[in-house]
Structure 1
Amino acid sequence: MNKLKVCGDSPRGYEYYLTKNQYSQSTITVHNLRIKRFKSWLKMYGLTETQLDYGSLLQYAKYLQTEKSYQRSSVNNELRAVKLYYDYLIDQGEIGNNPAEQVTIRGARTKVISNLLSEEELEDLYYSYEIGHHDTFFKAAKLRDKVVLGFMVFQGITAVELYRLQEEYLQLRKGKIDIPGTRRSNSRTLKLQPVQIMELMDYLHETRPYLARKINTGNSEQLIYGSLDQLHTITGRIIKNLKKYNRKICSYGQLRSSIIVNWLKRYNLRQVQYMAGHRYISSTEKYVQDDLENLHEIVNTFHPLK
């Protein structure tokens, strides 16, 4: 077998790929160190990148635990770096599949996520949220907050993604929204709920221009005006108000966890990974509620580390 031509041997190419995918410089440095360790192991065992398969990767995991005394969490971090490296090689057209795609070493039992809200409870929060006010400015702010609430309870959008939303990302005629990726999440396109459409139209045509004049936003293209800190303030105020409608409400994270768990009841793991914007399937697996000792079919079958 011919040795693979690896663009990753040029740090600049791999680092550019990581930078393009919004990884921080500190994370890039760590990934480079992990891939250096991985390549050293390949060389020690006389393997090339093209010869790596699932079984070989499990041997690498075993080597990290037994020879390097890595804990399971550290082994999984190393395996994620390998997966990302192979994603890069696929991106460069060097290989056709990723041997690390499904590899996760099972560790301690996942903690059950508690105090979740059903789809009906999430919908009730949106329908119940009051936007009336005698003052024009406060009424506009309340409508903006309800638009934000819709993104929270129907699309599970995070505060950082909310900050990056622009008007052009809305596809109201198609009933969809493009959610931008961040350093920690992937971009995706999700459906808007019919109940969101009318208030989004009112917000775009009347409320948003009004708020732009009042708070002097300049030429900002943001869908929801404000700095990241200001958007955290908005979402914090929304959570506080929601407690009037449902005493179970405690945090923004609780809403997002509820949405993801509800999605998992209707869609498969890969679909929910996409909808939630998770970079790694392991992030989605944490929300599986049915059998927490068996999060993934691949992990059920292969147990390389005892």
Structure 2
Amino acid sequence: MNRKVFLLPIILVICHMSWKSFIKSYQSYLKIERGLSQNTIDNYSFDIERLCNFLDENQIEISPIKISEETLQQFIYEISKQVNPRSQARIISGLKSFFSYLIFEDYRTENPLELIETPRIGRKLPDTLSIEDIDRLIGAIDLSSNEGERNRAMLETLYGCGLRVSELTELKISDLFFEEGFLKVTGKGNKQRFVPIGKLTEKYIQIYRNTVRNHLNIQKGHEDTLFLNRRGKQLTRAMIFTIIKDLAVKINLNKVISPHTLRHSFATHLLENGADLRSIQLMLGHESITTTEIYVHMDRKHLSEIVNAFHPRK
């Protein structure tokens, strides 16, 4: 047997182990130093695993310290056949972050993705619901069940406070400051912010707490978690997605919606009613106002009405 052929599987295993150790260190960095959520860390890791699989399939034995721009270009070219430009851009961004970490830790001196261009993608405008659609959605909840009271409180909180789904699942009773009219929200990167809460949302949270949550057999470690499943544990993100999608089907809403749709609707309706972008940015927890500015593109008719009403040369 050819010695090179015999050694190749061993080399590939060693190569893969090398990648795994770097990925593990990178995951620790993302969690401890950057404070990212487990969901975000999993997404970053998945992109690197994709690259590892590509190297294995093509019998390329190279460590993350030695991998070249040419090999990565080959990987991106193959990936472009499988995913859309938006996903491709996300993968490139994730890998750039990984190699920047290797530079930060002095394993590399340059980022092999530095000159690789991200595919151009149009700015995707978020889906929104009208106020009437949101009323119909929440009105379709079956309040005869214990889960109904909980679901109404959750949807009112998502829409009334503009929370991300992960922020909703992580919300604690100790985060409720009803007397002051705020929720304390822990967002991306463990950054905390205070979000105003309306009387209606507060009312439905209190109904859920007093009539449903108080009677649950709450599991250890979940005593302070606000929204719980029937077994007394924290709800999963997937469960909230399912609840909202089922309600959309129930009211024959011809849109694909998610918890994020309620967050987008919160921001859009505030803008339409005269709120300024800086205030919306603070409530949504956007690090950059550029992210918030996407809502400006949603209702040009509303912006035209503002100019016509308030500009001195209308």
Short-chain TM bin: 0.5 to 0.7
Matches within 5 A, 1:1-306: 19-23=32-36, 24=41, 29-32=98-101, 69-71=115-117, 109-114=122-127, 116-126=128-138, 128-133=139-144, 138=145, 140-183=146-189, 186-210=191-215, 212-213=216-217, 216-220=218-222, 221-226=224-229, 230-245=236-251, 247-252=253-258, 253-265=260-272, 266-289=274-297
1:150 is aligned with what amino acid?
A: E
Using the alignment, how far apart are the partners of 2:205 and 2:275 within structure 1? 27
Match of 1:301 in 2: none
Using the alignment, how far apart are the partners of 1:33 and 1:16 within structure 2? 11
2:176, 2:184 within 8 Å by CA — same for their partners in 1? yes
Using the alignment, how far apart are the partners of 1:235 and 1:35 within structure 2? 37
Match of 1:10 in 2: none
Aligned residues, how many?
210
> Structure 2: where are the runs of 5+ without partners?
1-27, 46-93, 301-314
Using the alignment, how far apart are the partners of 2:287 and 2:200 within structure 1? 29
Cα distance per residue 1:275-304 (max 9 Å; x no partner):
112233333233331699xxxxxxxxxxxx
Specify the SS of the correspondent of 1:262.
helix
Cα distance, 1:70 vs structure 2:
4.9
Change over 3 Å in CA distance of 1:270–1:32 after alignment to 2 = farther
State the superposition RMSD in angstroms.
Answer: 3.9
2:207 is aligned with what amino acid?
A: D
Using the alignment, how far apart are the partners of 2:298 and 2:148 within structure 1? 38
Using the alignment, how far apart are the partners of 1:247 and 1:199 within structure 2? 24
* Bigger mean CA deviation after superposition, 25-34 or 169-178: 25-34
Specify the SS of the correspondent of 1:218.
coil
Using the alignment, how far apart are the partners of 2:267 and 2:100 within structure 1? 28
Change over 3 Å in CA distance of 1:254–1:234 after alignment to 2 = closer
Using the alignment, how far apart are the partners of 2:203 and 2:299 within structure 1? 40
Change over 3 Å in CA distance of 1:155–1:34 after alignment to 2 = farther
Cα distance, 1:123 vs structure 2:
4.4
Cα distance, 1:22 vs structure 2:
0.8
Q: Which has the larger radius of gyration?
A: 2
Match of 1:297 in 2: none
Match of 2:62 in 1: none
1:180, 1:187 within 8 Å by CA — same for their partners in 2? yes
Using the alignment, how far apart are the partners of 1:230 and 1:240 within structure 2? 16
Match of 1:85 in 2: none
Larger RCO: Structure 1 or Structure 2 (Cα < 8 Å, ≥ 6 residues apart)? 1
1:156, 1:255 within 8 Å by CA — same for their partners in 2? yes
2:187, 2:285 within 8 Å by CA — same for their partners in 1? yes
Specify the SS of the correspondent of 1:174.
coil
After TM superposition, the score normalised by the length of structure 1 is 0.54
Using the alignment, how far apart are the partners of 1:142 and 1:285 within structure 2? 35
After TM superposition, the score normalised by the length of structure 2 is 0.53
> Structure 1: where are the runs of 5+ without partners?
1-14, 42-67, 74-106, 293-306
Percent sequence identity is 20
1:273, 1:281 within 8 Å by CA — same for their partners in 2? yes
Specify the SS of the correspondent of 2:200.
helix
